[in-house]
Structure 1
Amino acid sequence: MNNLSPDKTDTKTFEMTGQCPFGGDRIGGAVGTPPALSDWYPNRLKVELLHQNGASANPLGDDFDYAQAFNAIDLEALKQDIKTLLTSSVAWWPSDYGNYGPQMIRMAWHSAGTYRIADGRGGAGEALMRFAPINSWWDNGNTDKSRRLIWPIKQQYGSALSWADLIVLTGNCALEIMGFPTYGFAGGRHDAWEADNATYWGPEVWDPKNVTSFDSMVMRDKRWRGRNGDADYDLENPLAATHQAVIYVNPEGPYANGDPMGSARDIRVSFSRMAMNDEETVALIAGGHAFGKSHGMVKADEIGAPPEISPMEAMGFGWHNPKGPGNAEFTMTNGIEGSWTSNPTQWDNDYLENLFKYEWEQTKSPAGALQWTPTDPNASKTPDAHIPGQLNALMMMTTDIALKVDPDYRQVCEKFLHDFDAFTQAFSKAWYKLTHRDMGPRERYLGSEKRNDNDLLWQDPIPLADYALVDAADIAALKQSILALRISPSDLVYTAFSAAVSHRSSDKRGGANGGRLALAPQKDWAVNRRTVPVVVALRTLMAEFNGQQTGGKKVSLADLIVLGGCAALEKAAADAGIATAVPFTPGRRDTTQEFTDIEMFTWLKPVADGFRNYLDDGFAEISQGVAPEELFLDKAQLLSLTAPEWVALVGGLRAMNANHDGSAHGIFTDRVGVLTNDFFTVLTSMDFEWTKADAQGMTFSLDDRATGEQRFTATRADLVFGANSQLRAVAEIYAGSDGHPRFLKAFAKAWDKVMMLDRYDVKV
């Protein structure tokens, strides 16, 4: 830019090529992105991911109370405003059949459908489909138009209505105007304010400029072990979508090959990874395809770039269609053209009736995509979405035929085919689960249409307390009773942390509330074996305390587990010479085995947990080459920790020897069980040198430089706090001459944060 004369700048046009337009001579050092740190150092641990979407990115400010603002909305009036919009049509994007409902169902589904059970990431909760990469996935073609269509509603209600809530509510309203009885709606989703750079969406190298169809996209796919139909056919964890840039599966079949049985296998893997069983899967597919149509009137290679790399003048719109007006009867989305039913804007059983009434043959859409058409020339027709009087052939996708040929899916289809009420109920509940699965406990739900059913096991229900909570005097007495037990402070800390560390901020599951550490499957995990005798002792103390109380006062096992850790830490801090109050907030409740979905909670079992220096016996195979410290960072992010909180928390846990097996790895102190800052002083000392203790570099020996004597041992989860530059910078603060009191204050605060992560009964 420094070489451009004024007359040249007048005519200069910058094309969005993905490269810095200023070349190599930048005027401002912050302008332009390549080369990034990851280009120079691809194995660098990206600690900065802990600080994404921070307070500085939020235009609403820390003091904005979304729950209060949302609850002030007249929900019925809001829904009527949405429904009025849905039955309108605008020139820049005309509605199919005069009804925007079907495309809004797709928008809500694709917003929620990114959820995956393995790590709880994805879902509708933050409206991340507004940002890259999700906003530019090929499978999300034209969802940008849907969001712009409802912008007047968002603008009208302002900050009192998040995009995340509006997208889901619009999907519900769309179902209702077409005669479908929805199961309910809960608000309470908070918007993100920047792209999610932490979530791993797959191993493929994806270039959106060169991906113009499912067929060109999937052949690079690297996320599968084996090929479809092989005995070892499986999808890489934690992924749920079967292909890059797809919400679930390729509608044309695996690798666009038109194979219905192969498609059924893909569907089962993908939907189960999204926490759906066979009946819920069929209900969602059949229910969703009861409405609207698919679009494929223009060849994929003629469609323009997705929103994230579209020209400036497109103003965030992507997938420019050059044919005709670029919309209406010329619309192009996924390349498949047609409708599944004869009445695409009415809830009925036409989809399943058509699927089983006719035989279907493979054909091609005008865009060249593989689809299916009835072999019977007299089969029912469907009206054109835009041309009055024109009738078109019905359409099915390979994923639809899959439901007919797979024996288990077929059985569910036949049940729904003969019992429309059962189908309606199943789709209603499955849609509610799909759009609310990532919201967490019902305490987070807002609005008059929220459901409080205890039979929704996926909500991880915890029965309400029917007793009075312990007060400050009771807490003080209980601390003394706990410390008087024959339990080491180290075991108390380990047990409390083990209960809380299962929490995931992604989908708000896990945590100490509910006392599920004492229930299957968590009580049986190898990483939790150390907690079993502690839980037994605390359960006995709970029975004694509750039996002595009058006036209905009780303490839960969940509260006692956390309180035991707090009491042990206060003692350990005092033993280190600095009195430190570790906060404790009572009110956790105990749930039962009946209200615990063992299969779904098994997904919370850690493969690696650096906090407790744990690696699963099958770590090498399961991790697929991912280093333990990367999984450690991932867990810190799921706990919504900052880098200083992460560092302080680990230093305290190591001081207390909170290793899963009681090993000496990372216990850089001769005063175990005392809350010193020894972990940091040893970690940053130049009096020692580290050497590998195994060929793989998983464990290490710390040797005295002067004598060569081994002093300590460590794992990668220990040394990363000295090896990584950002983490070391924090560790040096806690290792300084004034670092001990600063560390204790930071540790107590971080500890309380983790203990309170799941307390949605006392926070929004």
Structure 2
Amino acid sequence: MSFAALRASARRVGSAAPLARASRTALRNPAFRKYSTEASQAPKKSSNAALFGALGVATVGGIAFWVYTSNSDSAKEAGSAVRSGVQSAKAATNFTPTKEDYQKVYNRIAEILDTASDKGYDDGSYGPILLRLAWHSSGTYDKETNTGGSNYATMRFDPEAKHGANNGLNIARDLLEPVKQEFPWISYGDLWTLGGVAAIQELGGPKVPWRPGRIDGFAAQCTPDGRLPDGALGADHIRNVFYRMGFNDQEIVALIGGHALGRCHRDRSGFDGPWTFSPTSVTNEFYRLLLNEKWVWKKWDGPKQLEDKSTHSLMMLPTDYALVQDKNFKKWVKAYADDEQLWFKDFAAAVAKLFELGVPQSQFVTSEPWIMKSSDEK
């Protein structure tokens, strides 16, 4: 039996995925067949010399010494400005670890994804929770105040780490901490968003353009609670949240299709269950199920959510269901349900935009985003 046929036979709903992403996903993700209930490489030495030169550009007058040796809050806040200047200087002088260095980080993350199977975590992959970490660390952006987003990785600090929408993401942060220790030159913001890219690509999704340049900030830059979507609310709420970030209706529907991956946990969000029968595979099944299944309100003691009438094993949030109740949202649901490749294209573009929210263009080390190689391409 071919790899593609193996993957197709494993799926319980919908048509077989394209051959280009079929083979490895079926083999590397045992949960695709069933779901449950529940060498350090530093940059080259020559680059280090360039780094010191870049640091000199950003720290004229000795300000860096004060910032990096003082424990005062004002010094820490000023430190972010200096770090941003350092990163901009690095980008301007073309100093950065190479694309190959970042590929090594990606490869290490890819290795971690499947260790979930050995540890009995969820459906056998850490991919969904790593994508959620990247999403939530980026989705706090407010275009009016130019605050939030992925630049400072402020979920490392209280109170943002304890925001209700971030419950359980300590698991993802802890998973990536050994990678940070192995590659200490990468910022947390770059690491977390690269983890999201790896999750999508390694679980059969599209290539997501990505580029490094984020810096690590301080607790003073934590965002207020309430900026991330509330799954219990409807279309108006969805628009308020995503419009604040700078997305339009088409991009909103494309991003929410990421619910093809993963499941809700009652001890985190209060909601419970997976959206699809293959929660560790990136497909357009979320849209097809949303359109074609009969959804009824779940009778239970938890928050209001829907379940499929035929098996009672799938769920949809009120925010998901709003996509087929709103006329303009629904047209995009239909488009993506009918054409998976169209969704792949739009999803990749929207995710790339999401992951760059809040990052000054001058900090990026490349004008054109990179495409990282998946494990199949080694």
TM-score, with length taken from structure 2:
0.71
Aligned 8 A contact 1:55 1:62 in 2: no
Secondary structure, aligned partner of 2:220: coil
Aligned 8 A contact 2:80 2:216 in 1: no
State the match for 2:206 in structure 1.
181
Q: Using a 3 Å threshold, how does the CA distance of structure 1 residues 63 and 101 change in structure 2: closer, same or farther?
A: closer
Secondary structure, aligned partner of 2:97: helix
List per-residue Cα deviations over 1:281-309 (Å, max 9, x = no partner).
000001x101011101xxxxxxxxxxxxx
1:334 corresponds to which of 269, 274, 283: 269
State the match for 1:429 in structure 2.
349
Mapped partners of 2:359, 2:81: distance in 1: 22
Mapped partners of 1:89, 1:438: distance in 2: 31
- The one-letter code matched in structure 2 to 1:295 is H
State the match for 2:264 in structure 1.
294
State the match for 1:402 in structure 2.
322
- The one-letter code matched in structure 1 to 2:364 is Y
Deviation larger for 349-358 or 81-90: 81-90
State the match for 2:279 in structure 1.
344
Mapped partners of 1:138, 1:439: distance in 2: 24
Mapped partners of 1:275, 1:109: distance in 2: 15
Aligned 8 A contact 1:363 1:373 in 2: yes
1:148 and 2:174 equivalent? yes
State the match for 2:35 in structure 1.
none
Secondary structure, aligned partner of 2:219: coil
Mapped partners of 1:111, 1:357: distance in 2: 32
Q: Using a 3 Å threshold, how does the CA distance of structure 1 residues 95 and 294 change in structure 2: closer, same or farther?
A: same
Q: Using a 3 Å threshold, how does the CA distance of structure 1 residues 90 and 409 change in structure 2: closer, same or farther?
A: closer
2:127 corresponds to which of 83, 101, 124: 101
List per-residue Cα deviations over 1:659-707 (Å, max 9, x = no partner).
xxxxxxxxxxxxxxxxxxxxxxxxxxxxxxxxxxxxxxxxxxxxxxxxx
List per-residue Cα deviations over 1:324-362 (Å, max 9, x = no partner).
xxxxxxxx2101000011111112111111111122111
Aligned 8 A contact 2:209 2:369 in 1: yes
1:369 and 2:303 equivalent? yes
- CA positional deviation for 1:69: 4.7
- CA positional deviation for 1:64: 12
- CA positional deviation for 1:53: 2.1
State the match for 2:360 in structure 1.
440
- CA positional deviation for 1:420: 1.6
- CA positional deviation for 1:428: 0.6
1:196 and 2:216 equivalent? no
Mapped partners of 2:285, 2:139: distance in 1: 24
Please show how residues 461-500 of structure 1 align to structure 2 within 5 Å.
none
Q: Using a 3 Å threshold, how does the CA distance of structure 1 residues 276 and 374 change in structure 2: closer, same or farther?
A: same
State the match for 1:277 in structure 2.
248
Mapped partners of 1:341, 1:115: distance in 2: 29
Mapped partners of 2:96, 2:340: distance in 1: 39
- CA positional deviation for 1:373: 0.8
State the match for 1:251 in structure 2.
231
Aligned 8 A contact 1:371 1:396 in 2: yes
Please show how residues 598-609 of structure 1 align to structure 2 within 5 Å.
none
- CA positional deviation for 1:198: 8.0
Mapped partners of 2:307, 2:316: distance in 1: 7
1:168 corresponds to which of 193, 200, 207: 193
Mapped partners of 2:216, 2:117: distance in 1: 27
Mapped partners of 1:178, 1:365: distance in 2: 32
Mapped partners of 2:87, 2:215: distance in 1: 14
1:54 and 2:71 equivalent? no
- CA positional deviation for 1:76: 2.1
List per-residue Cα deviations over 1:251-277 (Å, max 9, x = no partner).
122xxxxxxxxx111111221111000
Aligned 8 A contact 2:285 2:337 in 1: no
Aligned 8 A contact 2:298 2:304 in 1: yes
State the match for 1:587 in structure 2.
none
- The one-letter code matched in structure 2 to 1:251 is G
Aligned 8 A contact 1:337 1:365 in 2: no
1:85 and 2:112 equivalent? yes
Aligned 8 A contact 2:116 2:124 in 1: yes
Q: What RMSD in Å do the two structures reach over aligned CA positions?
A: 3.0
State the match for 1:420 in structure 2.
340
State the match for 1:638 in structure 2.
none
Secondary structure, aligned partner of 1:110: helix
List per-residue Cα deviations over 1:167-221 (Å, max 9, x = no partner).
00000001011111233110010101x212586x3xxxxxxxxxxxxxxxxxxxx
Mapped partners of 1:90, 1:146: distance in 2: 15
Mapped partners of 1:447, 1:355: distance in 2: 39
- CA positional deviation for 1:440: 2.9
- CA positional deviation for 1:145: 1.5
Aligned 8 A contact 1:252 1:397 in 2: yes
Secondary structure, aligned partner of 2:142: coil
- The one-letter code matched in structure 1 to 2:369 is K
- CA positional deviation for 1:97: 1.5
Mapped partners of 1:143, 1:121: distance in 2: 21
Mapped partners of 2:280, 2:87: distance in 1: 43
Please show how residues 508-587 of structure 1 align to structure 2 within 5 Å.
none
Aligned 8 A contact 2:209 2:370 in 1: yes
List per-residue Cα deviations over 1:393-413 (Å, max 9, x = no partner).
110000010001011101111
Aligned 8 A contact 1:113 1:123 in 2: yes
- The one-letter code matched in structure 2 to 1:278 is D
Gaps of 5+ in 1: 1-47, 202-244, 254-262, 297-331, 380-391, 453-764
Mapped partners of 1:195, 1:120: distance in 2: 17
- CA positional deviation for 1:55: 3.5
Q: Using a 3 Å threshold, how does the CA distance of structure 1 residues 57 and 281 change in structure 2: closer, same or farther?
A: closer
TM-score, with length taken from structure 1:
0.36
Aligned 8 A contact 2:87 2:213 in 1: no
Gaps of 5+ in 2: 1-71, 372-378
Structure having the higher Rg: 1
Aligned 8 A contact 1:86 1:101 in 2: yes
- The one-letter code matched in structure 2 to 1:157 is F
Mapped partners of 1:356, 1:130: distance in 2: 38
Q: Using a 3 Å threshold, how does the CA distance of structure 1 residues 76 and 410 change in structure 2: closer, same or farther?
A: same
- Size of the aligned set, in residue pairs, is 297
More helix by percentage: 2
State the match for 2:69 in structure 1.
none
